[in-house]
Amino acid sequence: MSAIAYITDSKMLELHRLNNHKAINFWRPSANTAFSDFREGDLLFFLSKDKEHKKKNEKGIVGFGRLQSISTASPKMMWERYGTDNGYVSYEEFKEAIEKVSKDRKLPRKISAFYLQNVTFFQPVYLSECGMKVSDKLESYVYLKDEETVRKLLDLSERYNDLWSDLSDNTNSIEEEKKRYALHCAHNRIKDLSLDEKRYRRSQRVMKKFAEVNSEYKFINGSLNELYRLRGDDLLIVLYNDKYTDYKLLVGQAKLYRYYLKQYYDKDLNVRFMTSDGNEEIKELLNG
C-alpha cells in the first residue's frame, strides 16, 4: 500500500469539507495517470495551500481519502460525470481552476482524476510531527513510503478533530483506515504464500471471481490472491486453497497475520480466517 501527500487547492477542500463529502473527484490538470506505485485502496493525503494551515514554511495535511479509481476525460465530461464532487459549485468555476494551474493557462483537452472514498477532514497535521521533512518548494506531491510515517499521520489525524469531525463520522473513518493499513503492513511482512507459476495464475483467477461474486471482499493491498472483509472490529481474511496446498502453511500464515496485526494495530480485532474453497476442516484449524 502506498500513500501520497498532494498539494491541494484550499477552495476546493473547503467546499468538500463544508458539504461533508465522503467521496470526491480529485482532479489533476495533466492527463498522465502513470504513477509508479499508487493503486486502488491506497491513501491520498491533502496538503493545503491555505496560509492558515501552514506552520512556518510547512504545509499542513488537513484530510485524506482512499483511492477507488483513476480516470481520464475532458474537463466537460469530468464535470458531467462528477459535478460538485470535483470541488466547485459550477462548471465555470471548475474550468477556471483548471486553467489557473495548467502550464499554458489554457484548458487542456483532457485531465486525469483520482476518485476517492472514505474522505475525512481534520485540523492540520504536519509531516515534521511524523519524522518526515518535505521541501517547502514541493510543487505537486510526495510519496509517503515509510509505514511508520503513515501510521503516525493516521494517529494524529484521529486526535486533531475539528467541528466537522464532531458533526460526522470522521473518527470511525480514521479508525477503519488504521485497521486497513495495519492489515497491509502485516501482509507486507508476510507476503502471499509461495506457489508455482501455474497455481499462482489459477489462484488469481479464483480469488478475482470470489471477489466479483462477494462484493464486500477486497484484495489486501499488495496481494494478488488474499482477500479480506472488514465489518467494524470483525476482520475476515480469505486464503487461497487447492488440493496441492499443505494445510500447515495456511495455519502458519494465519498465525503470522494474528501476530503482526497486534504489532500494527493497538486495539482488539476479531480476526478470523476461511479458505477460498470453503474447506470446513481447515477453517476450524485456522481459527482454533
Residue 114: the pLDDT is 93
Q: How confident is the model at residue 203 (pLDDT cuts 50, 70, 90)?
A: very high
Mean pLDDT over the full length of the chain: 90
Residue 19: the pLDDT is 87
What mean pLDDT comes out for the span 43-58? 84
* 11-15, 150-154, 238-242: range with lowest mean pLDDT: 11-15
pLDDT at residue 90 greater than cutoff 60: yes
The pTM (predicted TM-score) of the whole model is 0.86
What mean pLDDT comes out for the span 187-214? 94
Domain ranges (residues) in the chain: 3-168, 184-286
What is the Cα–Cα distance from 288 to 281, expressed in whole angstroms? 10
Instruction: Give the percent of the chain with pLDDT over 70.
Output: 95
What mean pLDDT comes out for the span 41-54? 86
Residue 62: the pLDDT is 92
Q: Write the secondary structure of 176-227 as one string of H (helix), E (strand) and C (coil).
A: HHHHHHHHHHHHHHHCCCCCCHHHHHHHHHHHHHHHHHCCCCEECCCCCCEE
What mean pLDDT comes out for the span 255-263? 97
The domain made up of 184-286 has a fold known as GMP Synthetase; Chain A, domain 3 (3.30.300)
Q: Among 2.60.120.310, 2.60.40.10, 2.30.130.30, 3.90.1150.10, name the CATH number for the domain at 3-168.
A: 2.30.130.30
Higher pLDDT, 122 or 271: 271
Q: Is residue 117 within 8 Å of residue 22, measured between CB atoms?
A: yes
Higher pLDDT, 159 or 219: 219
Q: How confident is the model at residue 164 (pLDDT cuts 50, 70, 90)?
A: low
pLDDT at residue 166 greater than cutoff 60: no
Instruction: Give the percent of the chain with pLDDT over 90.
Output: 69
Within 8 A by CB and 6+ apart from 247, the residues are 282, 285
pLDDT in tens, 54-78: 787 788 999 999 999 999 999 999 9
